[in-house]
Amino acid sequence: MNKAAVYHRVDSEYCYLLDERTLVLRLRCAKGDLKSVSVVYGNRFDRAQPAVRHTVKMEKVCQGLYHDYYELTLQPGFRRVFYYFELEESGAGVSSGGDASVAGSKYYYYQGAVRRNLPENWYAFFQLPYMRREEVYNVPAWAEDAVMYQIFPDSFATGHRFHDKSSKSADWEGFTLTSKLGGNLRGIIENIDYLVELGINVLYLNPVFVAHSYHKYDTIDYKHIDPDFGRDEEFRELVKMLHKNGIRVVLDGVFNHTGRRFFAYQDILKNQEKSSYRDWYYDMPLPLLPDCKSDYACFAYVKAMPKLNTGNPEVCRYFCEVGKYWIEKFDIDGWRLDVANEIDKNFWREYKKAIRSVKKDAIMLAEVWEDAQNWQVYDQFDSAMNYRFVNLCRDFFAGRTITAEEFGETFNESLMRYPRPVSYAQMNLLDSHDVSRFISLCGEKPELLKLAVVVQMTLPGMPAIFAGDERAMQGISEDEYRRAFVWDDDGKGSDYVACRPGDMTAFYKELIALRRSHKALRCGSVNFIDTGNDEVLCYERAAEEGKITVWVNNSDREWTEPKSGQTIKPFDYKIVV
């Protein structure tokens, strides 16, 4: 046994609460090392001495790149729990600790160590002091069933199945606001029927608040819709119509930084050290010089977006009120939070309390490009933009640098990085307003995008479509992937579609309908199956209603599954319900 590979940690993705009476425990070990794993648990305050111990066998739920993962969902019947793990080896050899290793040998794992013997005292084992309701992972139940659609408002539409592609400008308290292509809220309202036909049930909008630039990430006023996009009342109309059609609304919250026209920045510029807002920004030296001449912290290196000091209680209160305002006044369903990983974590804890005080199932979704473990805990985010999924699909379908087996094992590793409610709510995107269109990474090959979409729609997580993907729109650079939405089904007048847009949209509709009609694809378990072919991916999704098998042939050769006789054409897929 490789003892160094055995791992468990309390109060983490290895030990978490589904509710105040239900506990999930996980254990990691080296691949193939263990024949079985059991949890032995008891009541920390059991009046009987020695305390009564209960033994339950764990299930091996998946295999990652280097490890096996065991899991148990447990209702102990009491809230103060001690526990340890009983390990049975699978084969002969020499353990990493130098002990003779014999098949069937039993070991015990507690206090981070693998031992031959058990101590007498229960307090030497893993301890869950109390199963508190505040520490339950209360991810909104609707997230598992969600298919999200992301709209960059400037790019989408100006009318019914139409975009005039004309720049707009508007005045706001003496400032000139600009758009690039002129998309607006009215364009979204007049195309709600398109969203309904597509089958999505969550709409994520990039920033819609008053801001100077066309992308609207340099916010001026957080409590009004940008006049380039429309009026506050039009937004209220949009939300009502979307809700009427079964579509939830998630807004982009930009609280890491503001625009330079934001009132706090302007007050500092005017009053300098006398300004009551001088501590609203992070590392802002005084005197503050005009025209971005001061050396202050900002988003990336963009001086037009000075960085907020979210550790300031006044700043925290202000933006918590902003978060509540759009839920209370306009009935939105949650927030996607920009640059979430650069913001004080205590800010997010307070923010979650604030928005949940007005809507118990409001979602918090983080923009974190790297590993998001530190932010997706019970008192912070429910979900994150899953760029790990983007990278995995890129490596398998576009780059062809990993095998089907490595795809499955890497995906399993991602599942095990978070508690199950979080993993099944991950925003599984293929691209966004910030990265190249996936179809362009695939050499403008529609068949490869289709294979990636099959995987996106049939694996755990919240599928997220960037508007235009379903129209086969291309784009490598920012100017390209934010181009005007292609409304013509034949792609007439557009030189940036990889195939007939109507055909790709029909494909998306089919896959979205499949996901939404089968519970196994939304919340079922996943089991990757070795096909013996590096380019053929296969997995099963299982729930009480039944089992669904998915084959994806990422090669230019036909492949036949030996046992079932299923034949998959080159660059094609098969889903058996």
Task: Map tokens 């994150």 to a residue.
Answer: 384
**CB-based contacts of 212: which residues, under 8 Å, 6+ apart?**
175, 177, 178, 218, 220, 259, 260, 261, 304
Active site residue 338: yes
**CB-based contacts of 160: which residues, under 8 Å, 6+ apart?**
190, 191
Active site residue 371: no
Cis peptide before 50 (omega within 30 of 0): yes
96: nearest Cα among 8, 39, 30, 36: 30
**CB-based contacts of 114: which residues, under 8 Å, 6+ apart?**
1, 3, 6, 87, 97, 107, 108
400: nearest Cα among 347, 432, 441: 441
Q: Are 550 and 575 in contact (CB under 8 A)?
A: yes
The neighbouring-strand residues paired with 136 are 17
Task: Tell me the HSE value of 25 on the side-chain side, using a 13 A CA sphere.
Answer: 25
Whole-number Å distance between alpha carbons of 484 and 438: 17
Whole-number Å distance between alpha carbons of 136 and 126: 19
Whole-number Å distance between alpha carbons of 326 and 314: 19
572-576 vs 559-560, strand pairing mode: unpaired
Q: Sheet holding 334-337: strands in order across?
A: 383-384, 363-366, 334-337, 248-253, 202-205, 148-151, 462-466, 427-429
Q: Are 333 and 248 in contact (CB under 8 A)?
A: yes
Reduce the DSSP state of residue 150 to 3 states and report it: strand
Task: Map tokens 């209220």 to a residue.
Answer: 236
Q: Is 471 exposed, middle or buried (0-12, 13-18, 19+ CB in 10 A)?
A: buried
Catalytic residue among 338, 409, 470, 572: 338
**What stretches of 310-395 show up as alpha helix (H) in DSSP?**
313-330, 345-356, 387-393
Category of 284 on φ-ψ map: left (φ > 0), alpha (ψ -120 to 50) or beta: beta
Q: Are 489 and 470 in contact (CB under 8 A)?
A: no
Q: Which two tokens stand for residue 355?
A: 């928005």
Catalytic residue among 367, 413, 431, 469: 367
Q: Which two tokens stand for residue 322?
A: 């902003």
* Helix (H), strand (E), coil (C) string for 276-294: CCCCCECCCCCCCCCCCCC
- The residues that are catalytic are 338, 367
